[in-house]
Amino acid sequence: MKAGIHPAYKVATVTCSCGNTFETGSVKEDIRVEVCAECHPFYTGRQKFAAADGRVDRFNKKYGLKEEGRQEEGQE
């Protein structure tokens, strides 16, 4: 490998949104993640629901479209 063209590899601190921190190697010094092994449902056995609606649900909520109204129109 050529000398001087690769970024410096250093110890990085990884911070999770749950507050857990650990160190690993990276070219960045600080890495932020949303999920780690301490809070991921696969490792903890607990289900964690995100407070995010789907895009279609947000559209329907924003513009006031209702499922009932659509069904009534189809029956006429």
The amino acid at residue 53 is D
- Domains in the chain: ranges and CATH: 1-47 (4.10.80.400)
Q: Is the pLDDT of residue 72 over 60?
A: no
pLDDT digits (tens, 9 = 90+) for 6-43: 999 999 999 999 999 999 999 999 999 998 888 887 77
Could you tell me the pTM of the whole model? 0.51
- Burial class of 26 by CB neighbour count within 10 A (0 to 12, 13 to 18, 19+): middle
